A and B are shown apart, each in its own frame.
Chain A
């Protein structure tokens, strides 16, 4: 149980185009999902918190108009990289918290990560 999937697993696009990445919790509902960005051989940097039915909360320095997040259902969050440029090339990872099982709600701190999406912008 507790599986998070991402689609696509990798994508190559031309500069100036937009790319949508999906994050799905397959066997649980997730009110909260997170989007991270990981550069080669570096750590994960939190980009934004995605909450079902409300606007995403972006971390400082992350352009909300460039990285559009939509959390339309309890099992799906999407990240759209708009007008992508080569500097947006990275490994994007999402995570999902089973509803009611996060640190704030239960103290359990359960958070499950997707396998990541590698974006290459030419």
Chain B
């Protein structure tokens, strides 16, 4: 079975500051991990994913995440926040099927 824990339902940063959104997972098999972004009243857009290979994954809009097996983590980072980054971010895990198990989400606020 798989599960995802996102620490911090709300994160606030200033424009230009580092963004760090935390995600820890649990999986009985080697996981596939995803980060999605959701803007108000819209569906989800894939930011990045880890399947196999390089543990540091780069995604769209300057985001990246690192798969750390020893820490069961897949934290999302961006060096410099932009106002347009304000949205809801979801971490998700899959255990070799196409079904995604989502975390509870983290709302990112960016202040000028």
Residues of A within 8 A of B (CB): 4, 6, 32, 34, 41-46, 49, 91, 93, 95, 97, 102-104, 107-109, 111-116, 118
Contacts of B96 in A (CB 8 A): 103-104
Contacts of B103 in A (CB 8 A): 43
Contacts of A43 in B (CB 8 A): 90, 102-105
In the bound complex, CA of A109 to CA of B35 (Å):
12
B interface residues, tally (CB under 8 Å): 25
Pairwise interchain contact B100-A46, C-beta atoms closer than 8 A: yes
Question: Nearest-CB distance from B112 to chain A (Å)?
Answer: 24
Residues of B within 8 A of A (CB): 32, 34, 36, 41-46, 49, 51-52, 90, 94, 96-105, 107
Contacts of A112 in B (CB 8 A): 46
Question: Nearest-CB distance from A29 to chain B (Å)?
Answer: 15
Contacts of B97 in A (CB 8 A): 103-104
